[in-house]
Structure 1
Amino acid sequence: MEISKDELLPYIAMLEDWIPKEASIAIAVRDEYIYCDAKKQNLRLENGQKVKEGSITEIAMQTCCRTEGIVEDFILSEPYYGIAYPINILEETGALIVILPSKQPVINPTPYRFLTGKLEEEWRPIPIEKIAYMESLQKKTWFYADKEPYKTSIPLKELQQRLPESFLRIHRSYIVNVAFIDRIIRDFSSNLLVLLQDGTELPVSQTYTADVRSALGF
């Protein structure tokens, strides 16, 4: 897509007052990247490169919501944290992506108020209090609300840092919303099991048993 640098300057300039000077910036319109200003990161982006399905760039454009998470490894030589903002350029849907430098603190560390997940071919923002639990399965992250599975590009490790206190890590593969716990029992091996109100059973690994006991007070 042919858009001149002069047409992009207003979108770039609006970031200069608040983003770290070391942060990289990319701009995408429709399904491709049209601008890249790499700082210290090793960006592997070229004009015309396609936006990857499930990336924070695609999510921001499809949902028209600010989206953040780990930037894809096909863009960077190592993982970095990025924030994508939906924008409109010459009446075209686009996204402005800020890629933060390594060890740079997150601009807005407040807890998530909602998560946007993919269900079939739709992206839906789900209020965080409606999410019963989150799961890492086959290198993908899922969260469950009203028994519906939603896919997100944000790994559990990153989610855990931004979740409200009502969410508890119980296993390498599971984070649970305490508000949805019905009871905790032991299985035949005397390991703890978390039973949710909808009947879902989630294992508590030995690594997190002490943390679960401390958090829930038993």
Structure 2
Amino acid sequence: MDAFPMETIFAAIGELFSDETSIAVANTKEYIYYQPSKRIDLKISVGDPVKEGTIAFKALTGKHKVSEFIDRDIFGVPYYGMAVPLFRDGEIQGCVSAIFPTLASGKSVVTVKHQDSWIPVSFSKVMYVEASERKTHVITEELTGTHKYSLNEFEFLLPKEDFVRCHRSFIVNVNHIKEIYPDTHSTLILIMNNQSRIPVSQSYTSYFRKLLGF
């Protein structure tokens, strides 16, 4: 049987882990394949150089498997990664990296700016987080405030068992969803407990359905 093209194999591996895990493949200098997931996307492009400090760089320079947390300084978001070097005839040729979202840090509140003060709010009271007008708005049961974090950063801050990204501009707390309606083009509309209508975009609909089991 003829050998499968490497890109086909990489794509199949990426499909196995696409819900939670991004897959990156690099040679000794640059990335040659990248498959992002819905939970974590480092915005890597084919041809990007392997930066110092990344999980791929550590595996290539150390020439052994690496598993560790990488802070937000490199890609703008923190992640947990595992990278395995690839060898041919004893010489390192590249590496394969699995990129996972970080676990919640153990915090139970988010502190939002509301008028002239900062107010700590329990995660359980946050209904959804919205990115609009170049700001991140945190909508809670009692108030609406703003925060310096981007939506991508909030994906790592908020506990994943309760909060789901449903749109490029929204993360919702599933405990505050009142009803779910089908919308056009295989999308969904969420009616929240405060009657807000939140869209689930087409790119997130399948993932959203899988997480909520319907």
TM-score normalised by L of structure 2: 0.51
| Residue 214 (str. 1) matches residue 210 (str. 2) | yes
**What are structure 2's unaligned runs of at least 5 residues?**
1-51, 53-70, 79-100
2:209 match: secondary structure: helix
| Residue 115 (str. 1) matches residue 137 (str. 2) | no
Amino acid at match of 2:109: F
Q: Contact 1:186–1:193 (CA<8 Å) still a contact in 2?
A: yes
Q: Aligned residue for 2:179?
A: 183
1:132 match: secondary structure: strand
Q: Aligned residue for 1:131?
A: 126
Q: Distance in 1 between matches of 2:192 and 2:156?
A: 23
Q: Distance in 2 between matches of 1:214 and 1:108?
A: 20
Query: Alpha-carbon deviation of 1:190?
Result: 5.2
Q: Aligned residue for 2:145?
A: 150
Amino acid at match of 1:214: K
Aligned-residue Cα RMSD (Å) equals 3.1
1:154 match: secondary structure: coil
Which of 166, 184, 189 is the matching residue for 1:193? Answer: 189
Amino acid at match of 1:209: T
**What are structure 1's unaligned runs of at least 5 residues?**
1-39, 41-68, 72-77, 82-105
Aligned-residue sequence identity (percent) comes to 31
2:105 match: secondary structure: coil
- Cα distance change of structure 1 residues 138 and 111 upon mapping to structure 2, 3 Å threshold: farther
- Cα distance change of structure 1 residues 109 and 180 upon mapping to structure 2, 3 Å threshold: closer
Query: Alpha-carbon deviation of 1:146?
Result: 1.8
Q: Aligned residue for 2:82?
A: none
Spell out the pairing of 1:4-43 with structure 2 (5 A cutoff): none
